[in-house]
Structure 1
Amino acid sequence: MLTVYLFFIGLALGSFYNVVGLRVPKGESVIKGRSHCTTCNRTLKASELVPVVSYLLQRGACKGCGSRIRPLYPVTELSTGLLFAVSYLSFGLSGEFFVAVIFISLFAIIFVSDMAYMIIPDKVLLFFLPLLLAARVYTPLTPWYDSLIGAVVGFLLLFVIIMASRGGMGAGDMKLFGVIGLVLGWKLTLLAFFLSTLYGTIGSISLLAFRIIDRKNPIPFGPYIILGSLTSYFIGDELLGWYLDWFL
């Protein structure tokens, strides 16, 4: 029952994270202002704000003007709910569970903002940085300074790539990896980067192959960073153990 409860909490928070991810990059308040259709500006009713369910019942379209609703909304809501449930099943009600919830919340907002605007807002990173730092102090890695090394490795790794590629990646990705390193430690941060580039390569080739985009279209890297980092966070130790057993 607690797993189900946390799933629904995640759904509700995922709906709020949609608002944060869409408004913060535009400098809008996340507290003031009713939710509205971005096409016709009609204020949404309570029945239109039920996470995932409203999207399905409305068949992905605004009741007022019939304009298409971004699938981004239900994807964020459902993913947040599922990840909250997985976090509880993985860690129970422990300190690490709260690290996971904060980590997932950061990623949900970043996912929305990067998909919508290709921006990873500094305000979001600065808000979550002290929360994750406090959570890691309460539930430290072993050894505890692995978080500090991870933050430095994550930041510098992307910094070097940006310098070498002359802007091939964004500064937002670099700052995000610094925060990721704080949570994962240096080994899992390196794994997260490898998985992110792997997912990014597969995703880009697939989008090009199915002609969803062409070579001139920029692709946000944030979602791949999120996917790679979550993979590393939840099963990274197992992946590293498998790799060492298989190849060494």
Structure 2
Amino acid sequence: MIEPLAALSGGIAGAIAGSFLATLILRWPQGRGVMRGRSACDGCGRTLGAGDLVPLLSAMVHWGKCRTCGARIDPLHGRVEAGCAMIGALAVGFAPDVAGVGWALLGWILLTLAVLDWRHFWLPDALTLPLAFLGFTLGLWVTDAALTDRAIGAAVGYLALLAVSQGYRLARGREGLGLGDAKLLGALGAWFGWQALPFILLLAAGMGLLTVAGSMVLGKMVERTTQVPLGTFLAVAAVPGWWLSALLLG
């Protein structure tokens, strides 16, 4: 059963985390500092006050626009805030303890990585490496995978996609798979153990194929060099893949 007060707390924490993460997603790829200076409107440059920075509510009150110049606020802010709020509410609501905090952090980081890879084909080390570290530490309260299985999962996950990446480079003479994907799969191995990796990869590959097929159905040009954000699909498939492995392997 979900604990209402814990879920509310997790949702509020998630909305606050989402506000920061949305800003990070928008600024980081542009080389803009996230921690430097106060938040300002991208349209008129007005420094935003406390009333402009309430997650979800501020944008709703002002209809998604700056109240000074009327410039449109990127809807990514609201979407990431809402997504993180849902993750926090479910994680802490169902597990109002250290495990809930672990699930929430895992979900928030995976959401951020999924969006970054979808938009920019970029999985920064500054997120994937801490995610792996958390898998070996906080992850011990989240899943019951043995430490040995986590170590094997981290190594196998990374080395498997590293081998694919290097093999493709040797065969085709160009990069076909980024090392960020390998590091992300290794991090997921640290959270869930090696047993979950085949299921995560299978689901991620399936989503990738469906995305390409959907693009073709919609008439979009798909070429042999078309990029597919594997990291996005790995992030989305992580928890369902782990759940399937636990269900089928016991």
TM-score in same-fold range (> 0.5): yes
Q: Which structure 2 residues correspond to residues 190-205 of structure 1 after superposition, within 5 A?
A: 190-205=198-213
**Aligned counterpart, 1:180:** 188
**Aligned counterpart, 1:124:** 127
| Counterpart-to-counterpart distance in 2, 1:62 and 1:224 | 33
Asked if structure 2 preserves the Cα contact closer than 8 Å seen for 1:120 and 1:173, the reply is yes
Tell me which of 141, 149, 152 is aligned to 1:149: 152
Amino acid in the other structure paired with 2:99 = E
Asked if structure 1 preserves the Cα contact closer than 8 Å seen for 2:14 and 2:88, the reply is yes
**Aligned counterpart, 1:220:** 229
Asked if structure 2 preserves the Cα contact closer than 8 Å seen for 1:149 and 1:181, the reply is yes
| Counterpart-to-counterpart distance in 2, 1:80 and 1:34 | 22
| Counterpart-to-counterpart distance in 1, 2:244 and 2:88 | 16
| Counterpart-to-counterpart distance in 2, 1:173 and 1:162 | 9
Q: How far is the alpha carbon of 1:85 from its aligned partner?
A: 2.0
Q: How far is the alpha carbon of 1:102 from its aligned partner?
A: 2.3
Q: How far is the alpha carbon of 1:182 from its aligned partner?
A: 0.3
Q: Check if 1:75 corresponds to 2:79.
A: yes
Deviates more, 1:149-158 or 1:102-111: 102-111
| Counterpart-to-counterpart distance in 2, 1:200 and 1:223 | 9
Query: Taking structure 1 as reference, are residues 115 and 143 closer, same or farther at Cα in structure 2, changes over 3 Å only?
Result: closer
Any idea what the Cα deviations from partners look like across 1:106-144, whole Å, max 9, x if unmatched? Answer: 213323432443211112223443333221356673433
Query: Taking structure 1 as reference, are residues 39 and 236 closer, same or farther at Cα in structure 2, changes over 3 Å only?
Result: farther
Q: How far is the alpha carbon of 1:3 from its aligned partner?
A: 1.0
Deviates more, 1:178-187 or 1:35-44: 35-44
Amino acid in the other structure paired with 2:19 = S
Structure 1 stretches of at least 4 aligned residues deviating more than 6 Å after TM superposition: none
Deviates more, 1:48-57 or 1:223-232: 48-57
RMSD of equivalent CA atoms: 2.8
What SS is found at the alignment partner of 2:147? Answer: coil
Q: How far is the alpha carbon of 1:219 from its aligned partner?
A: 4.1
Deviates more, 1:118-127 or 1:66-75: 66-75
**Aligned counterpart, 1:237:** 246
Query: Taking structure 1 as reference, are residues 223 and 140 closer, same or farther at Cα in structure 2, changes over 3 Å only?
Result: closer
% identical equivalent positions: 26
Query: Taking structure 1 as reference, are residues 229 and 134 closer, same or farther at Cα in structure 2, changes over 3 Å only?
Result: same
Query: Taking structure 1 as reference, are residues 234 and 59 closer, same or farther at Cα in structure 2, changes over 3 Å only?
Result: farther
Amino acid in the other structure paired with 2:23 = V
What SS is found at the alignment partner of 2:45? Answer: coil
Any idea what the Cα deviations from partners look like across 1:158-184, whole Å, max 9, x if unmatched? Answer: 112223333322111111111111001
Asked if structure 1 preserves the Cα contact closer than 8 Å seen for 2:87 and 2:108, the reply is no
| Counterpart-to-counterpart distance in 2, 1:39 and 1:116 | 22
Any idea what the Cα deviations from partners look like across 1:79-102, whole Å, max 9, x if unmatched? Answer: 111112222344x23443232122
Query: Taking structure 1 as reference, are residues 81 and 29 closer, same or farther at Cα in structure 2, changes over 3 Å only?
Result: same
| Counterpart-to-counterpart distance in 2, 1:74 and 1:67 | 15
Deviates more, 1:58-67 or 1:157-166: 58-67
| Counterpart-to-counterpart distance in 2, 1:69 and 1:201 | 33
What stretches of structure 1 of length at least 5 have no aligned partner?
A: none
Tell me which of 55, 59, 64 is aligned to 2:59: 55
Asked if structure 2 preserves the Cα contact closer than 8 Å seen for 1:24 and 1:121, the reply is no
| Counterpart-to-counterpart distance in 2, 1:24 and 1:127 | 17
What SS is found at the alignment partner of 1:223? Answer: helix
Q: Check if 1:109 corresponds to 2:106.
A: no
